[in-house]
Structure 1
Amino acid sequence: MLIQNLGRQPYAHTLDAMRAFTEARTPDTPDEIWLVEHPPVFTQGLSGKAEHVLDAGGIAVVPTNRGGQVTYHGPGQVVAYPLIDLKRLGIYVKEYVYRLESAVLKVLQAQGVTGHRLAGAPGIYVRLDDPFGHAALSGPMPATDPFRGLGKIAALGIKVSRHCTYHGVSLNVAMDLSPFSRINPCGYAGLVTVDLATLGVPADWAAVATLLGERLATQFLPRSA
């Protein structure tokens, strides 16, 4: 599997490139993982509602064909775009999402941070009061405040076309988090967003990107590997 670190790339350019790759690929096309960092941009998923963008503040809002609601991409965030043939791998979307989250959990673990899944809310979360503790979340979370005590550190949004994936997962490393206050992240009002730097982890973008690429590649090795 080819892992490409593409560095800083405009969002719209990357989206066009992912679509073109996916439309042109054949059953024999090798899978790839693209690692990028985007200039500031809000992206709106297919389920996105305009009211979840509270104040764009001059940052472009780009409609996309991925699932989910609105999120923010910006410098200091690693965005990984796995371009995976699910049919060839022999898995379905639910398993694909689980493996995306598993890769992020392993990257966080390498930084000493304990990530958590939350039922019904794709992505990875950390305990704000104890991001390094190993206790599991005790659920179910209260319906009136499902994110109480949690901060979101990684977001997912995917598209599957002819059994092939694009879009992907973003992991917050060391970024200006203030744009998240201008939206309801992923459609949830008041959801706290954090990064590794906020948690006191002095992680380097390039190092985290490399590790995330490696962990994702391991998740998507073919069965015969």
Structure 2
Amino acid sequence: MCATPVSSQQIPSDPGVVEVASQEATAVVVRWRGNEAYQTSFDAMREFTAARDANTPDEIWLVEHPPVFTLGQAGKPEHLLVADSGIPLVQIDRGGQITYHGPGQVVAYLLLDLRRRKLMVRELVTLIESAVIETLAAYNLAGERKAGAPGIYVPQEATGASAPHAGAKVAALGLKIRNGCSYHGVSLNVSMDLSPFLAINPCGYAGLETVDMATLGAEAGWRDVAATLAARLEANLAAHAATILSVAEAAATDPSAEAAAVDPAAHAAPGGQPPQPQAGVAPAA
């Protein structure tokens, strides 16, 4: 799955005006869509995003798909290694290469108004990855990021049942941004048949091992993990919204905080440097 540029419209044109969404506007509706064909979810996400307006509540959809390979809009078909696998291939509009969705995998789609949330794409990717790491920790599993490769991986220093799978990928993410709003999201492997991953170069990486939580030693059901992941995503989005609100309140009384209030990403970026604009669709992994 991948991420996109945030248009300049996210930042108020008048630096003296700080627009902050209300608590109601930043609430998230969680929808349990259950087992659903990928094309159905894909069409519904695009329709929801095209129809939404400034007052449409943000949503997180929790889904489990029948077996399907998905290929990003610039993906290379040669990363599908077995042409007659019997698993359908769907070309979609996220960034990145090819990945697999199937039973036993939690997929969380994030349909968010990033402009309203004053949320940059890089911040959103970090927020999602943090939620996955926190979800794994709830089941006594460790996960880590890998520079330049979105998603969550088994740490190189992993021990116990995870040790043989150091460096393997357990969660993939990819986003599409349209008119300042996101769709697509993150997939976390819980307990699934992993053999279809052998028919592809996962996310375009030849030889990359893909694992699930069960292989790493966690006994957890799909619904329980989905609920945990949704809760962590909600909590991290709420924490970001609270930070933006506090920065805006500080800007009202402290001129030195005004720049951070107008461009919260610059305030939050490591080293105080604002992230550079991205173009196109964010890399899926």
TM-score scaled by length of structure 2? 0.71
Secondary structure of the corresponding residue to residue 208 of structure 1: helix
- Residues 27-50 of structure 1 deviation map (CA, whole Å, 9 limit, x = unaligned): 111100000000000000123101
User: Following the alignment from structure 1 to structure 2, what is the Cα–Cα distance between the partners of residues 163 and 50?
Assistant: 29
Secondary structure of the corresponding residue to residue 167 of structure 1: strand
User: Following the alignment from structure 1 to structure 2, what is the Cα–Cα distance between the partners of residues 131 and 186?
Assistant: 25
1:113 to 2:141 alignment? yes
Identity of aligned residues (%): 55
1:158 corresponds, among 175, 187, 196, to: 175
Which letter maps to 1:107?
T
The answer to whether the Cα contact below 8 Å between 1:151 and 1:191 also exists between their aligned partners in 2 is yes
Count of paired positions: 211
Change (3 A) 1:39 1:76: same
Secondary structure of the corresponding residue to residue 188 of structure 2: strand
The answer to whether the Cα contact below 8 Å between 1:131 and 1:199 also exists between their aligned partners in 2 is no
User: Following the alignment from structure 1 to structure 2, what is the Cα–Cα distance between the partners of residues 20 and 71?
Assistant: 23
Q: How many angstroms does 1:5 deviate by?
A: 1.1
Change (3 A) 1:128 1:59: farther
The answer for the alignment partner of 1:196 in structure 2 is: 213
Structure richer in strand, relative to its length: 1
1:95 to 2:123 alignment? yes
Q: How many angstroms does 1:111 deviate by?
A: 0.8
The answer for the alignment partner of 1:83 in structure 2 is: 111
User: Following the alignment from structure 1 to structure 2, what is the Cα–Cα distance between the partners of residues 153 and 128?
Assistant: 13
Q: How many angstroms does 1:67 deviate by?
A: 1.0
TM-score scaled by length of structure 1? 0.90
The answer for the alignment partner of 1:24 in structure 2 is: 51
1:174 to 2:191 alignment? yes
- Residues 114-153 of structure 1 deviation map (CA, whole Å, 9 limit, x = unaligned): 10000000000003772579xxxxxxxxxxxxxx941100
Which consecutive residues of structure 2, in runs of 5 or more, have no partner in the other structure? 1-27, 247-285
1:55 to 2:79 alignment? no
The answer for the alignment partner of 2:230 in structure 1 is: 213
The answer to whether the Cα contact below 8 Å between 1:40 and 1:75 also exists between their aligned partners in 2 is yes
1:124 to 2:159 alignment? no
Change (3 A) 1:111 1:52: same
The answer to whether the Cα contact below 8 Å between 1:103 and 1:212 also exists between their aligned partners in 2 is yes
User: Following the alignment from structure 1 to structure 2, what is the Cα–Cα distance between the partners of residues 165 and 101?
Assistant: 16
Q: How many angstroms does 1:91 deviate by?
A: 1.5
Structure richer in helix, relative to its length: 2
The answer for the alignment partner of 2:200 in structure 1 is: 183
The answer for the alignment partner of 1:139 in structure 2 is: none
